[in-house]
């Protein structure tokens, strides 16, 4: 870090939504207006940086004066003036706004490899990446290693695909390189479709060059001259930063013909996804790049044998690619020394839901769920009780509270009926209904099923209908067994991963929360008080002050009463929308 | 008008004429140009490329990003991801329907001022529930905040 004053403002999607661009502009204005550089006789630089991880405390700002770094949280534009006058000019950090111990606890158990430079370097400046040691790995590979040596290094590191299924990366490359072909392709899967996941988006927004460098290493190893990044159009900021990074890399000679005078040529194109979850499946993704409807096909042949345009193709996801430069720089043994026996390295998770410290975390494989939730995550929001953790999105399952000491790795997650998935981790508390959660995911997979094979197209629809019936109080005796039976058939007979894993949310919630299903079906009761058709809304007269808020909010006139006198709800005209419950400031509206 | 229409299509077509596999990119560019994908545009581009119109329609109806009808001046995108769901996205969506007087299966208001669309997840889960109003991400939404945002949009569009 050069001497002088550096201000870093977190500008990921989360930061920007929290007002980071206004904060950044305020710093630039305040520093130039007071001609601060002249007054402190130092160079002052203001940078935007990628996601810092602790999104719950956005906007996060680092002020570094001569290597002394102070981090501030919850910064708004109107606070900038004081930060500049007291800290930068006066030399006294503003203690009131500094991050608390919780910020440090959030980071203590983390180990950052992929995210190491995310949040410290400017993602829109290739020089920042190079200064942090970027493009050193590819330079070394091109100068002194054969493709076979690179593949061997990756194989020995134990790296497994971070997209969800966990296939060994080195083995995939070996298979691809062994095929006779006039052309091979490299694809980066950035079609992060799982709801509740934003790891890949954050990596591209925060450090796009690490993904490009990873792809370069892969391309050299398998002998490819052409790569694609397939990225969701729903991530406009990530797309812009990636496009800029590709242009900068080309200008610097890291992409294009004869890279670094090595004779090796490679370039990368961006393909924008058009909104289809199934395109995260590799054969569907390939069909989509080819300009077709994104429908999966049967495997084998695997893409490593016959992929894009029928040529051998390597598909890895964003996080996998970003792991490669550190593996080359530090060696396979270093990487294999981190993590658990069969899952090496670290994993990035998007920690969200009913947890205090939401954000982006990177932890060594094998860490316990307890450490993640209670140490890093700071426990459950509002002091409520933990019920379950949902991992793997619509393909995964719910891990109940009793498995909280589970060591997080690929194999353990499968054993409890969930999966790693791409790394979404949604924490659920006692106020969440597990039948409703299962219904939510089936609604998702049913809508996203491409329709090619019958078990998935019709099976998910029937599963959704049964679950909807149960949450609406129409559940019948035998529904649970019917769900289990049908879910098993969909899992066993679907063509691709989407259909095969779609029943997971149903099966895992029945396995651990059967009593909730039974309460819905037999007692017409939702224990978590979520399923509205099973609830009755009423007003406690002793708490109601007659403010009339519920009367105004009620769409049907069911909530009524005279001003300043207790109101009541007419159950026959109540549509159970919950508007009265939301607006009541006196907690006089109850649901049962 | 006619000439301008085919001129725009011609430009899009020329951008991709040299390479195979660009049907989706062509459609994305057409949508960027017109705001939606008009039927005549598909027929014209099919003639230019020699690809059957049914092939283009197949793609348009497969991907949720494509729209076959004109959209409103303000685009309200409600996130329906897992975290938004457990933090009350449905109540916000109901409120939008009420405020805009949209029927259950309707997505654009009759005066073409608003279009409501749902998206699986925009990946801003740490500030859920999230609604994107004209491409600006609004975090920690509530039905009341949503109603205020819609009012602001209406005022801006009227002005």
Domain holding A563: CATH number?
3.30.70.20
Written as six digits, the tokens of A223 are 């002998």
- Within this chain, do residues A224 and A295 fall inside the same structural domain, yes or no? yes
Selected residue of A10, A204, A234, A271 to mutate for chain B interface (largest B Cβ count, 10 A): A234
Q: How far apart are the first and last CA of chain A?
A: 59
- Within this chain, do residues A329 and A269 fall inside the same structural domain, yes or no? yes
CB A533 within 8 A of CB A495: no
- Within this chain, do residues A264 and A148 fall inside the same structural domain, yes or no? yes
Rounded distance between C-alpha atoms, residue B94 and residue B99, angstroms? 9
DSSP assignment letter at A232:
E
**Angstroms from A138 CA to nearest CA on chain B:** 30
H or E segment at A576? none
- Within this chain, do residues A88 and A207 fall inside the same structural domain, yes or no? no
User: Chain B residue closest to A438 (CA)?
Assistant: B82
Rounded distance between C-alpha atoms, residue A148 and residue A298, angstroms? 30
Q: Is A277 in contact with B123 (Cβ distance < 8 A)?
A: no
Q: Is B83 in contact with A353 (Cβ distance < 8 A)?
A: yes
Selected residue of A293, A430, A432 to mutate for chain B interface (largest B Cβ count, 10 A): A293
pLDDT tens profile A225-256: 999 999 998 898 999 999 999 999 999 999 99
Handedness of CA A492, A493, A494, A496 (dihedral sign): positive
Rounded distance between C-alpha atoms, residue A165 and residue A301, angstroms? 17
Q: Is B81 in contact with A195 (Cβ distance < 8 A)?
A: yes
Residues 6+ apart with CB under 8 A from B94: A577, B143
DSSP assignment letter at A436:
H
Rg of the Cα trace of chain A?
A: 26
Which of A336, A358, A385 is the last residue in one of the domains? A336
**Angstroms from B144 CA to nearest CA on chain A:** 9
Instruction: Phi first, then psi: give them for residue A411, nearest 5 degrees.
Output: -75, -40
User: Chain B residue closest to A288 (CA)?
Assistant: B24
Written as six digits, the tokens of B117 are 């669309």
**Angstroms from A2 CA to nearest CA on chain B:** 33
Rounded distance between C-alpha atoms, residue A241 and residue A573, angstroms? 53
User: Chain A residue closest to B99 (CA)?
Assistant: A555
- Within this chain, do residues A146 and A293 fall inside the same structural domain, yes or no? yes
Q: Is B82 in contact with A353 (Cβ distance < 8 A)?
A: yes
Written as six digits, the tokens of A109 are 């158990």
| Pairs across A and B, CB distance < 8 A | 137
Q: List the single residue in B21, B85, B127 with the smallest CB-CB distance to A17.
A: B127
Rounded distance between C-alpha atoms, residue A185 and residue A502, angstroms? 30
- Please name which of B109, B27, B29 lies closest in space to residue B76, comparing C-alpha atoms: B109
Do the domain assignments include residue A109?
no
The CATH number of residue A303's host domain is 3.40.50.11540
CB A282 within 8 A of CB A189: yes
Q: List the single residue in B23, B28, B137 with the smallest CB-CB distance to A272.
A: B28
The CATH number of residue A494's host domain is 1.20.1440.230
Which of A468, A500, A522 is the last residue in one of the domains? A522
Rounded distance between C-alpha atoms, residue A366 and residue A406, angstroms? 8
CB A6 within 8 A of CB A17: no
DSSP B11-61: HHHHHHTTSSS-HHHHHHHHHHHHSS--HHHHHHHHHHHT--HHHHHHHHH
CB A173 within 8 A of CB A154: yes
Do the domain assignments include residue A195?
yes
A49 half-sphere exposure, CB direction, 13 A CA radius: 26
- Number of compact structural domains in chain A: 5
Backbone angle region of A25, left / alpha / beta, with phi > 0 → left and psi within -120 to 50 → alpha? alpha
For residue A523, how many other CB atoms are within 10 A of its CB?
A: 11
Selected residue of B80, B120, B144, B145 to mutate for chain A interface (largest A Cβ count, 10 A): B120
- Within this chain, do residues A291 and A206 fall inside the same structural domain, yes or no? yes
**Angstroms from B112 CA to nearest CA on chain A:** 23
The DSSP bridge pattern shows strands A226-232 and A267-273 to be parallel
Selected residue of B29, B37, B56, B82 to mutate for chain A interface (largest A Cβ count, 10 A): B82
Q: Is A195 in contact with B120 (Cβ distance < 8 A)?
A: yes
pLDDT band at B1 (very low <50, low <70, confident <90, very high): low
- Within this chain, do residues A424 and A448 fall inside the same structural domain, yes or no? no
Indicate the pTM of the whole model.
0.93
Q: Is A236 in contact with B81 (Cβ distance < 8 A)?
A: no
CB A497 within 8 A of CB A281: yes
The CATH number of residue A415's host domain is 3.10.20.600
- Within this chain, do residues A403 and A513 fall inside the same structural domain, yes or no? no
Residues of A in contact with B98 (CB under 8 A): 555
Do the domain assignments include residue A117?
no
Residues of A in contact with B23 (CB under 8 A): 291-292
Which of A382, A408, A429 is the last residue in one of the domains? A429
- Within this chain, do residues A248 and A384 fall inside the same structural domain, yes or no? no
CA quadruple A175, A342, A115, A109: dihedral, nearest 10: 180
Rounded distance between C-alpha atoms, residue A30 and residue A49, angstroms? 19
pLDDT, tens digit only, all 592 positions of chain A: 346 899 999 988 888 888 899 999 999 999 888 777 777 777 888 999 998 888 888 899 999 998 899 999 999 999 999 999 999 999 999 999 999 888 989 999 999 999 999 999 999 999 999 999 999 999 999 999 999 999 999 999 999 999 888 999 999 999 999 999 999 999 999 999 888 889 999 999 999 999 999 999 999 999 999 999 999 988 989 999 999 999 999 999 999 999 999 999 999 999 999 989 999 999 999 999 999 999 999 999 999 999 999 999 999 999 999 999 999 999 999 999 999 999 999 999 999 999 999 999 999 999 999 999 999 999 999 889 999 999 999 999 999 999 999 999 999 999 999 998 889 999 999 999 999 999 999 999 999 999 999 999 999 999 999 999 999 999 999 999 999 999 999 999 999 999 999 999 999 999 999 999 999 999 999 999 999 999 999 999 999 999 999 999 888 999 999 999 999 999 999 988 888 998 899 999 999 8
- Within this chain, do residues A424 and A480 fall inside the same structural domain, yes or no? no
Place of tokens 């979404």: A424
- Within this chain, do residues A162 and A305 fall inside the same structural domain, yes or no? yes
Do the domain assignments include residue A327?
yes
Do the domain assignments include residue A579?
yes
pLDDT tens profile B129-154: 999 999 889 999 999 899 999 999 99
Place of tokens 């509270």: A401
Which residues form the domain of A44? 5-99
For residue B101, how many other CB atoms are within 10 A of its CB?
A: 9
Do the domain assignments include residue A531?
no
Measured CB to CB, residues of chain B less than 8 Å from chain A are: 20-25, 27-28, 58-59, 62-66, 80-83, 85-86, 91, 94, 98, 119-128, 130, 135, 137-139, 142-143
Rounded distance between C-alpha atoms, residue B141 and residue B90, angstroms? 12
Verify cis geometry, omega within 30 degrees of 0, for the bond prior to A351: no
- Please name which of B77, B73, B75, B99 lies closest in space to residue B89, comparing C-alpha atoms: B77
Do the domain assignments include residue A269?
yes
- Please name which of A359, A417, A424 lies closest in space to residue A392, comparing C-alpha atoms: A424
Is the pLDDT at B39 greater than 70? The verdict is yes
Do the domain assignments include residue A527?
no
Q: Is B127 in contact with A18 (Cβ distance < 8 A)?
A: yes
- Within this chain, do residues A286 and A197 fall inside the same structural domain, yes or no? yes
Residues 6+ apart with CB under 8 A from A489: A455, A459
Written as six digits, the tokens of A77 are 């534009």
Q: Is B138 in contact with A17 (Cβ distance < 8 A)?
A: yes
Rounded distance between C-alpha atoms, residue A212 and residue A342, angstroms? 27
């Amino acid at each position: 870090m050069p001497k002088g004053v550096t201000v870093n403002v977190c500008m990921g999607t989360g930061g920007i939504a929290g007002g980071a661009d206004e904060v950044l502009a305020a710093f630039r204005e305040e520093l130039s207006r007071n001609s601060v550089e002249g007054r402190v006789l130092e160079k002052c630089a203001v940078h935007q940086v990628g996601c810092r991880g602790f999104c719950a405390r956005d906007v996060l700002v680092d002020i570094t004066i001569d290597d002394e770094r102070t981090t501030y949280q919850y910064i708004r534009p109107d606070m900038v003036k004081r930060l500049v006058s007291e800290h930068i000019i006066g030399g006294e950090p503003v203690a009131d706004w500094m991050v608390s111990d919780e910020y440090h606890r959030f980071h203590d158990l983390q180990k950052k490899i992929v995210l190491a430079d995310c949040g410290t370097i400017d993602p829109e400046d290739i020089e920042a990446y190079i200064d942090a040691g970027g493009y050193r790995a590819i330079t070394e590979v091109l100068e002194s290693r054969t493709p076979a040596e690179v593949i061997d290094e990756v194989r020995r590191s134990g790296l497994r695909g971070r997209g969800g299924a966990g296939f060994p990366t080195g083995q995939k490359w070996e298979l691809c390189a062994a095929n006779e072909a006039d052309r091979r392709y490299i694809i980066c899967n950035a079609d992060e479709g799982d709801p509740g996941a934003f790891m890949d988006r954050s990596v591209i927004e925060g450090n796009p060059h690490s993904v490009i460098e990873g792809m370069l290493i892969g391309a050299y190893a398998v002998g490819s001259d052409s790569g694609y990044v397939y990225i969701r159009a729903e991530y406009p900021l990530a797309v812009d930063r990636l496009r800029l990074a590709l242009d900068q890399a080309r200008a610097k000679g890291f992409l294009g013909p004869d890279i670094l005078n090595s004779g090796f040529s490679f370039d990368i194109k961006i393909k924008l996804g058009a909104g289809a979850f199934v395109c995260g499946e590799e054969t569907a993704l390939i069909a989509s790049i080819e300009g077709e409807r994104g429908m999966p096909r049967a495997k084998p042949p695997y893409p490593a044998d016959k992929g894009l345009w029928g040529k051998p193709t390597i598909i890895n996801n964003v996080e996998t690619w970003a792991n490669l430069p550190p593996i080359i720089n530090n060696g396979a043994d270093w990487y294999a020394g981190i993590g658990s026996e069969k899952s090496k390295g670290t994993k990035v998770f998007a920690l969200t839901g009913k947890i205090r410290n939401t954000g982006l975390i990177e932890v060594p494989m094998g860490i316990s769920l307890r450490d993640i939730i209670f140490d890093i995550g700071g426990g459950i929001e509002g002091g409520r009780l933990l019920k379950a953790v949902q991992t793997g999105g619509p393909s995964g399952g719910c891990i109940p509270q009793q498995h909280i000491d589970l060591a997080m790795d690929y194999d353990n997650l499968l054993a409890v009926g969930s999966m790693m998935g791409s790394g979404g981790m949604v924490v659920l508390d006692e106020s969440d209904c597990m039948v409703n959660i299962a219904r939510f995911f089936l609604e998702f997979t049913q809508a996203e099923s491409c329709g090619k094979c019958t078990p998935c197209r019709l099976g998910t629809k029937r599963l959704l209908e049964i679950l909807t019936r149960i949450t609406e109080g129409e559940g019948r005796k035998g529904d649970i067994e019917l769900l289990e039976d049908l879910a098993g058939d969909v899992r066993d007979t679907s063509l691709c991963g989407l259909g095969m894993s779609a029943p997971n949310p149903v099966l895992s919630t029945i396995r651990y929360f059967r009593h909730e299903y039974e309460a819905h079906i037999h007692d017409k009761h939702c224990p978590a008080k979520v399923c509205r058709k099973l609830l009755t809304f009423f007003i406690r007269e002793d708490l109601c002050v007659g403010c009339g808020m519920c009367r105004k909010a009620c769409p049907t006139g069911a909530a009524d009463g005279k001003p300043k006198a207790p109101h009541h709800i007419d159950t026959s005209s109540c549509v159970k929308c919950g508007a009265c419950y939301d607006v009541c400031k006196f907690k006089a509206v109850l649901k049962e | 008008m006619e000439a301008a229409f085919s001129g725009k299509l011609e430009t899009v077509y020329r951008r991709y004429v040299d390479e195979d596999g660009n049907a989706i990119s062509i459609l994305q560019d057409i949508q960027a140009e017109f705001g939606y994908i008009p039927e005549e545009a598909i027929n014209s581009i099919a003639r230019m490329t020699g690809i059957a119109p049914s092939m283009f329609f197949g793609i348009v109806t497969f991907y949720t990003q494509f729209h076959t009808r004109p959209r409103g001046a303000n685009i309200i995108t409600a996130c329906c991801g897992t975290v938004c769901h457990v933090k009350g996205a449905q109540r916000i969506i109901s409120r939008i329907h009420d405020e805009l007087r949209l029927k259950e299966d309707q997505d654009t208001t009759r005066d073409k001022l608003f279009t409501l669309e749902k998206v699986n997840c925009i990946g801003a889960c740490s500030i859920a529930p999230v609604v994107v109003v004209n491409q600006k991400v609004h975090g920690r939404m509530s039905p009341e905040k949503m109603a205020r945002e819609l009012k602001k949009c209406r005022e801006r569009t009227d002005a």
